[in-house]
């Protein structure tokens, strides 16, 4: 009798263990399903968040480059300019020093009279999926609708000049990611910059 009882106890224990194991597997499958759903929902949110952060960082970087050129112009007592050149898939930009007192000009850059102070930079190289541009359908920083998506709006020559007296070329540099849209406004009288973000919820540009 004791042997039979022991065998029955072992069988019952095995069935209980099997039942527990089956229940654990179901729990794991449910957990995995929930986790997959949460990840699927969260991925676009995380992606948009990273895109916004990268685009904001790029806008602050460009603003900093403009302000550094302003300080450089004051320090050197000569015009210093950022020249933007259309390239594929985005603009390159380089800092130049006026070499003959007539401002930084494309012709003087070609002859070497106005020499480069920095190597050419390409925004997407440092900020993935970020480039100069205004998303189609968005108003510009003045609230005006435009068909142009060009992100460099500082004159036909696309040369942003900073003078020794602290003034600058007026204009706006639009910087976009996959979803985020920013702008760097340059105020000519003061040479200062302001970083703006287009808020899709409010449908307007706000200071950042």
CA nearest neighbour of 83 among 108, 53, 52: 108
3-class state of residue 185 by DSSP: strand
3-class state of residue 169 by DSSP: coil
First to last CA, the chain: 84
Q: What share of the chain is helix, strand, coil (3-state, %, to 5)?
A: 40, 25, 35
Whether this model's pTM surpasses 0.75? yes
Vertex 146, ends 136 and 143: CA angle to 5°? 100
b/e code 117-149 from CB counts within 10 Å (16+ = b): beeebebeeebeebbbbbbeebebbeeeeeeee
- Cα atoms in the Cβ-side hemisphere of radius 13 Å centred on 15: 5
- How far apart CA 149 and CA 169 sit, in angstroms, is 21
User: pLDDT value at position 40?
Assistant: 53
pLDDT values of the chain reduced to their tens digit, one per residue, 208 residues: 455 455 555 444 544 444 444 568 766 666 666 656 655 554 554 567 899 999 999 999 999 999 999 999 999 999 999 999 999 889 999 999 999 999 999 999 999 999 999 999 999 999 999 999 999 999 999 999 989 999 999 999 999 999 999 999 999 999 999 999 999 999 999 999 999 999 999 999 999 9
Domain ranges of the chain: 51-207
pLDDT in tens, 35-67: 566 555 545 545 678 999 999 999 999 999 999
- How far apart CA 96 and CA 92 sit, in angstroms, is 13
User: Domain 51-207 adopts which CATH fold?
Assistant: minor pseudopilin epsh fold (3.55.40)
User: pLDDT value at position 88?
Assistant: 85
């Amino acid at each position: 009798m004791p042997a039979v009882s022991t065998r029955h106890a072992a069988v019952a224990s095995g069935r209980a263990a099997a039942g527990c194991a089956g229940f654990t597997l179901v729990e794991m499958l449910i957990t995995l399903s929930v986790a997959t759903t949460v990840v699927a929902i969260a991925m676009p949110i995380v992606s948009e968040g990273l895109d916004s952060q990268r685009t904001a960082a790029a806008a602050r970087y460009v603003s900093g480059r403009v302000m550094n050129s302003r300080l450089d112009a004051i320090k050197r007592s000569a015009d210093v300019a950022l020249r933007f050149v259309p390239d594929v898939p985005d603009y390159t930009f380089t800092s130049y020093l006026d070499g003959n007192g007539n401002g930084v000009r494309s012709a003087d850059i070609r002859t070497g009279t106005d020499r480069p102070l920095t190597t050419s930079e390409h925004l997407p190289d440092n900020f993935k999926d970020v480039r100069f541009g205004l998303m189609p359908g968005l108003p510009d920083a003045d609230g005006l609708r435009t068909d142009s998506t060009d992100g460099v709006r500082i004159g036909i020559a696309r040369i942003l000049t900073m003078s020794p007296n602290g003034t600058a070329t007026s204009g706006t540099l639009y910087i976009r990611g996959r979803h985020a849209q920013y702008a760097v406004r340059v105020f000519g009288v003061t040479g200062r910059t302001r970083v703006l973000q287009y808020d899709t919820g409010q449908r307007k540009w706000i200071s950042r």
